[in-house]
Amino acid sequence: MPALKPVSLDRSTTWLERGFRDFAAHPGIGLAYGGVFALMGWLLTFGLAEIGLGSLILPLAAGFMLVAPFLAVGLYEVSRRREDGQGVTLLQAVGALRRNSQMADMGLVLLLAFFVWFQLAMIIFALFFGGHPPALDEFFGQVVLAPQGPAFLLTGTVVGGVVAAIVFAVSVVSMPMLLDRDVSALTAMRTSLKAAWLNRMNMIGWAATLATLGVLGVAALFVGLAVTLPIAAHASWHAYRDLVGSD
């Protein structure tokens, strides 16, 4: 287990600044990654709307945040290479997943968390409303303004928050660590949990910051993900560097 370091409460701002500098240094790679996810969001939204299940985009968008640490590995590689004074291409960023086979195992853990969250969301909806989720344009009137709407939203928020907190604690440094070091997924997750607990007050703010960036990206019709996702990923690399010391 590597040494862990306590950090001051103001480090989130520093991580964001460094993340923005990484993005500005290689905007093409960041926009390419973010653009793919924005396109996926658009296609998924229109596809669900076509079959009358547009409101499902809401739990799916929330679930995307759970698997984002795995999807952003290439952006961590950009920050790692820039830190070492190396050049980086889009092909090298995409190929970063080959650096450690354990990253695939970590990806499966995050994917499982995504499916757990989605199933919980469907169960909660069925308990309060039954039947199938409505179309997106009917969601506000049929769900939010319904008598049981506030209780439904509160329950979903609490359950989603618990799932997100667990996944955040497990993944906040595990994916960058797997890219950076030849360690197992289990060691990376244990390190992440201990680092999150050691800096728990800081991590609450950092989790809120990352969630805000994700919400802003999705709220801007997914187009915002082309910018907010790369910045969040680059910043997460610098958070890992601050939280985890040398072996």
Percent of the chain scored above 70 by pLDDT? 99
Query: What is the C-alpha to C-alpha distance for residues 7 and 202, in angstroms, rounded to an integer?
Result: 8
Structural domain contains residue 174: yes
**pLDDT for 245:** 79
Q: Which has the closest alpha carbon to 112: 166, 156, 73?
A: 166
DSSP designation for 98: G
Give strand pairing partners of 232.
none
Residue 234 covered by a domain = yes
CA–CA separation, 173 and 18 (whole Å)? 16
Both tokens of 103, joined, read: 């990253």
Arithmetic mean of pLDDT, 17-39? 94
The pLDDT of residue 146 is above 70:
yes
pLDDT > 80? residue 200: yes
Please tell me which residue, 109 or 51, carries the higher pLDDT value.
Answer: 109
Sign of CA dihedral 216, 221, 223, 226: positive
Partners of residue 55 on adjacent β-strands: none
Residue 222 has a pLDDT of 85
Q: Is residue 219 in a domain? A: yes
* 244 beta partners: 4
Q: Please, which pLDDT band fits residue 135 given cuts at 50, 70 and 90?
A: confident
Residue 1 lies in a domain: no
Residues 6+ apart with CB under 8 A from 147: none
Interhelix angle 149-171/185-198, rounded to 10 degrees, is 110
**Can you count the helices (H) and strands (E) in the chain?**
12, 0
* Confidence class for position 45, pLDDT limits 50, 70, 90: confident
Averaged pLDDT for residues 15-28: 96
Tokens 């990376």: give the residue. 188
| DSSP state for residue 89 in the 8-state scheme | -
* Res 247: pLDDT: 58
Q: Is 2 part of any domain?
A: no
The sign of the torsion formed by the CA atoms of 168, 107, 241, 30 equals: negative
State the average pLDDT over residues 61-83: 92
Is 3 part of any domain? no
Mean pLDDT of the region 96-116: 93
Distances (CA, A) of 213 to 141, 217, 219: 27, 6, 10
pLDDT on residue 54: 85
Domain that holds residue 43: 11-243
pLDDT number for residue 44: 87
Whether residue 143 has pLDDT greater than 80: yes
Please give the tally of structural domains in the chain. 1
- pLDDT band for position 221 (50/70/90)? confident
Mean pLDDT for the stretch of residues 31-53: 89
Q: Would you give the distance in Å from CA 132 to the centre of its chain?
A: 27
In a 10 Å sphere around its CB, with 0-12 CB exposed, 13-18 middle and 19+ buried, how is residue 110 labelled?
buried
CB atoms within 10 A of CB 227: 21
> What is the pLDDT averaged over residues 46-61?
87
For residue 184, pLDDT over 80 is answered with yes
CA–CA distance, 210 with 231 (Å, rounded to integer): 10
What's the rounded Cα separation, in Å, for the pair 143 and 135? 11
Q: Does 90 reside within a domain?
A: yes
> Residue 9's pLDDT is what?
83
Whether 4 is in a domain gets the answer: no
Alpha-carbon span 168 to 176, nearest angstrom: 13
Asked if the model's pLDDT at residue 246 lies above 80, the reply is: no
